[in-house]
């Protein structure tokens, strides 16, 4: 294996951490207000979380073509497209809110999915110039940049979400709540785009012959037949989908159980801190204990989050469940990303990463759609809906756990046979 200078990789990681912190702040902001605005405009509480589902659906449909585009034109080009998607999506969402159009709001949230897709490629970009030894740490550090967005995004949202625009209608002034969030998101994308000028990454297919050969490497079906690739994708799907299932309904549950919007922001902030804070050492844990054990720990912690959430709807219960949910996602998702990054060749990068994110966010889209229905249409109270959401986690955790056990046993048998 050719040695790679990790000085270059570390510089790229620093830029990607900053991008994760600044541009990534828009995701908790739009997710916190998405269910609340959806509930306000849809006229049907079962559709309240549909805007969030459209963002994730947008990410799913963007991932395959954006991954191929970055393979040809380079990561930076794709990241600019993502930021532009964030700007246009926020502008369209703001206009939909301004005129009271739920359809326009949904379209804006779909466009925001273009940013979300690019955002999740930051973790793969961190590995492009990294050595094999530095790779899990590079992924972990970039994910840790979300710690700053977890602090910055919800707190900024508190300041701007109540900033209203007052269109003159006749002789009266009509406030538009939450519209300040979308204006702030536009500003974050404009500022964050400047960071990509400092990235030192391959320019795309022109940089190597292998990367330029679209037919090189295994087909998508061949990749899915590889047990390591399949297990990595399934564990990533379950970790992310269950996190989305619960987080999407959290603002509705918190407000519905008698706590204010500020408390919902604080709980989401604590959750995202738990998602990204451990990333400072997750890579070191993977290097020491192995990726399989860290992924298994993530699934177990997600199970604990479900148990805590089912125990009550006091403020402490929400905080504890969402913190465990974030920690479980961190171990499960970073572990799965690390496992996938070592299971393909450079010429398969665009194909496998696009396939992974399309499948992951397809599953997350279904989870976010189910979240609103379970939360608002299961039982007669918000507590009943919250219970339904968390019970739905259990079968998928069993599925992912069984697959991980199968992969671990298989690998041990192969090692013993050598």
The tens digit of pLDDT for each residue in 139-160 reads 888 888 878 887 888 788 888 8
Residue 96 above 80 pLDDT? yes
Kindly indicate the confidence band of residue 102, based on its pLDDT and cuts at 50, 70 and 90: very high
Residue 41 has pLDDT above 90, yes or no: no
* Two structure tokens written together for 300: 């177990």
pLDDT at position 175, please?
59
DSSP 4: -
Spatial CA neighbour of 249 closest among 116, 366, 382: 382
Q: Please compute the mean of the pLDDT values over residues 78-83 and round it to a whole number.
A: 95
Q: Which residue has the higher pLDDT, 91 or 358?
A: 91
353, 124 Cβ separation under 8 angstroms = yes
Q: Specify burial of residue 374 (Cβ count, 10 A radius: 0-12, 13-18, 19+).
A: buried
Contact, 279 vs 334, CB < 8 A?
Answer: yes
Give Cβ neighbours of residue 190 (< 8 Å, ≥ 6 apart). 83, 87
- Whether residue 197 is predicted with pLDDT greater than 80 in this model: the reply is yes
User: CATH assignment of 6-201+217-417, given 1.20.1250.20, 1.10.3720.10, 3.30.410.10, 3.40.30.10?
Assistant: 1.20.1250.20
Asked whether the predicted pLDDT for residue 85 surpasses 90, the reply is yes
**Cα separation, 64 vs 350, whole angstroms:** 8
Say whether pLDDT at 210 is over 90. no
Tell me how far apart the alpha carbons of residues 283 and 318 are, in angstroms, rounded to a whole number: 28
> How buried is residue 400: exposed, middle or buried, by Cβ count under 10 Å (0-12/13-18/19+)?
buried
Between CA 232 and CA 412 the distance in angstroms is 17
pLDDT-based confidence at residue 211 (cuts at 50, 70, 90): very low
Mean pLDDT of the chain: 84
By CB neighbour count within 10 A (0-12 exposed, 13-18 middle, 19+ buried), where does 176 fall?
Answer: middle
Asked if the model's pLDDT at residue 284 lies above 80, the reply is yes
Phi, psi dihedrals of residue 4, rounded to the nearest 5°:
-120, 135
* pLDDT reported for residue 213: 47
Q: Which residue has the higher pLDDT, 269 or 363?
A: 363
Structure tokens at 261: 């919007």
What is the arithmetic mean of pLDDT over 164-177? 52
Average pLDDT over residues 56-70: 88
- Alpha helices for 100-145 (secondary structure H): 102-120, 122-125, 135-144
Name 58's Cβ contacts closer than 8 Å, sequence gap at least 6: 109, 110, 111, 112, 113, 114, 116, 117
- 2 has pLDDT over 80: no
Tens-digit pLDDT profile for residues 215-265:
556 777 888 888 888 899 999 999 999 998 998 888 888 888 888 777 887
- With a threshold of 0.85, does the pTM exceed it? no
pLDDT number for residue 5: 64
Quick one: which of 139, 138, 195 has its CA closest to 6? 138
Structure letter (DSSP) for residue 1: -
Decide which of 268 and 186 is more confident: 186
- What was the pLDDT predicted at 218? 78
User: Torsion over CA of 361, 296, 246 and 108, rounded to 10 degrees?
Assistant: -20
Question: What was the pLDDT predicted at 132?
Answer: 77
Contacts of 276 (CB under 8 A, 6+ apart): 143, 144, 145, 146, 147, 149, 150, 326, 330
Average pLDDT in the 114-122 region? 91
Q: Is the CB of residue 332 less than 8 Å from the CB of residue 237?
A: no
């Amino acid at each position: 294996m050719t040695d790679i200078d990790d000085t270059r990789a570390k510089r790229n990681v620093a830029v990607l951490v900053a991008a994760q912190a600044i541009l990534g702040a828009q995701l908790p902001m739009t997710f916190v207000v998405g269910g609340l605005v959806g509930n306000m405009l849809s006229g049907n509480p079962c559709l309240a979380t549909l805007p969030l589902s459209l963002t994730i659906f947008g990410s799913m449909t963007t991932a395959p073509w954006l991954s191929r585009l970055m393979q040809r034109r380079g990561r930076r080009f794709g990241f600019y497209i993502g930021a532009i998607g964030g700007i246009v999506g926020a502008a369209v969402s703001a206009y939909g809110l301004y005129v009271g159009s739920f359809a326009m709001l949904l379209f804006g949230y779909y466009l925001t999915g273009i940013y979300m897709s690019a955002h999740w490629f930051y973790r793969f970009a961190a590995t492009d110039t990294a050595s094999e030894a530095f790779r899990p740490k590079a992924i972990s550090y970039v994910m840790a940049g979300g710690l700053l967005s977890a602090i910055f995004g919800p707190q900024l949202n508190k300041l701007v979400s109540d900033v209203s625009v007052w269109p003159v209608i006749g002789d009266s002034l009509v406030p538009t709540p939450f519209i300040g969030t979308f204006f702030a998101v536009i500003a974050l994308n404009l500022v964050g785009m400047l960071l990509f000028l400092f990235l030192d990454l391959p320019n795309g297919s022109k940089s190597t012959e292998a990367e330029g050969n679209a037919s090189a490497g295994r087909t998508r079906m061949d990749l899915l037949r590889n047990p390591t690739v399949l297990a990595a994708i399934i564990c990533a799907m379950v970790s992310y989908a269950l996190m989305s299932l619960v987080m999407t309904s959290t603002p509705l549950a918190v407000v519905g159980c008698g706590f204010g919007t500020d408390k919902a922001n604080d709980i989401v902030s604590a959750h995202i801190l738990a998602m990204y804070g451990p990333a400072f050492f997750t890579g070191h844990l993977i290097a020491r204990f192995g990726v399989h054990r860290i992924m298994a720990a993530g699934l177990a912690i997600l199970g604990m989050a479900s148990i805590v959430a089912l125990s009550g709807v006091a403020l402490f219960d929400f905080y504890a469940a969402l913190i465990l949910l974030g920690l479980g996602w961190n171990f499960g998702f970073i572990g799965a990303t690390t496992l996938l990054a070592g299971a393909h060749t450079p010429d398969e990068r665009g194909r496998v990463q696009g396939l992974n994110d399309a499948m992951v966010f397809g599953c997350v889209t279904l989870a976010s759609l189910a979240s609103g229905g379970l939360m608002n249409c299961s039982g007669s109270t918000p507590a009943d809906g919250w219970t339904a959401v968390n019970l739905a986690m259990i079968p998928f955790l069993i599925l992912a756990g069984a697959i991980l056990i199968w992969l671990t046993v298989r690998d041990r048998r192969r090692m013993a046979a050598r």
